[in-house]
Chain A
Amino acid sequence: MVCLTLISPSVFAFGQVAGSVFINVPVGGSGTGSWKIFNEEPITVSISAEGDAMKFISFPEQVTLEPNNKIYSVEITAKIPADYNLTQGTNITGTLYALSEGSPGQVKINLQLKKNIYILVKSPEASAPAVNPLTSLITGFFSLGPAYVLSFFGLIILVEIILFIKKERR
């Protein structure tokens, strides 16, 4: 006779926020992305990866989730070496897995989350967008809001008046 071990019934609930993980990385640099996962009960989850992206990413191998579906952001760091040849591809793909193991028993039922990851490789020049300093100054100034902009011009008028008074007194 073939015997099969007894187990106790168990309930899981294990989830993730939708959408792929995209990480922009310049050649010779690094970037980070996050994968949001959650669970109803506190559990320890094993993280793994496969695919081309696996060679360029690092992540915690295990994470502990807090109860009540509190979102945990698994931080994924991607590093592209300085000698990376862009002809190898600027879109490196892979898959992330988060495994929640079931209770040991005759049949152990695991639950697994799967997430696609994309590393978007940029040349160093493309990664540093040129910013016109004058545009930046003007945009920054007006972003302060109407109250501060009016106060600024009012202050200029005030200084002008004070200078005028001093001139009159002489």
Chain B
Amino acid sequence: MKYKLETLTVALVSLLAIIPTVLAPSASVQGSVTVESTCDIAASPNVQFEPLVPSQTSTDHTTTVSEPTGNIVLTPTILGSAWIGTGETPPTMPVGQTHWANSDLAYASMTPLDTSVASINDAIGPEDNATVHFKLQVPNGQTADIYTQTITFEITC
């Protein structure tokens, strides 16, 4: 009786020892990856207006807004700042002297740039782009100086 029980015990211990090995997950590896939804923006080149005299309107200048790597269709918005001259008390030009549009229109038909965001109207998708046209008109009597302006393209997703 004792011998049988001891044999049974040894067998059971052996069985217990191999259970985790037998039932353990196999060694094969299954890979997976999550591709996130993203949006991104690029703008090129910078706008470069030619030298102008008061009352003169610039020629058409463009910048291309694109989504180089993202996978969501988006519509960028645009906003700007006033033109600022140089010196301690620099002269300024209103932000709205710069007009923009999705095509080469007459200055009066284009949208004045504003400090508030406005949609550029063209939706861009992956590896897509939109061309934004700019024209600047210098007001009568504008102080002679070197002026700079900031234009911001914004995206959300």
Interface residues of A (CB under 8 A from B): 1-19, 36, 38, 40, 69, 99, 102-116, 145-148, 150-151, 154-155, 157-158, 161-162, 164-165, 168-169
Contact = CB atoms under 8 A, between A and B. Distances in A.
B24 A147 contact: yes
Contacts of B152: 99, 109-112
Q: Tell me if A's interface is mostly helix, strand, loop or mixed.
A: mixed
B153 A36 contact: no
Interface in B112-138: 134, 138
Contacts of A146: 23
Nearest to A102: B46
Contacts of A2: 51-54, 138, 142, 144-145, 147
B5 interface: yes
B5 A12 contact: no
* Chain B interface size range: 35 or more
Interface in B1-25: 1-2, 5-6, 8-9, 12-13, 15-16, 19-20, 22-24
A150 B134 CA distance: 74
Nearest to B25: A145
Contacts of B59: none
Contacts of A164: 5
Contact of A18 (B37, B44, B145): B37
A1 B2 contact: no
A18 B150 CA distance: 26
B37 A154 contact: no
Contacts of A165: 2, 5-6, 9
Contacts, number: 179
A52 to B, nearest CB: 18
B145 A40 contact: no
Contacts of B12: 154, 157-158, 161
A4 B51 contact: yes
A3 B51 contact: yes
B51 A10 contact: no
Contacts of B40: 13-16, 38
Nearest to A114: B156
13 contacts: A3-B145, A3-B147, A5-B148, A7-B46, A15-B41, A102-B150, A103-B46, A104-B148, A105-B46, A110-B151, A111-B41, A111-B154, A169-B2
B54 A109 contact: no
A5 to B, nearest CB: 5
Nearest to B24: A147
Contact of A151 (B16, B53, B134): B16
A113 B156 contact: yes
Contacts of B96: none
Most buried by B among A15, A115, A150: A15
B43 A17 contact: no
A10 B147 contact: no
A155 B157 CA distance: 56
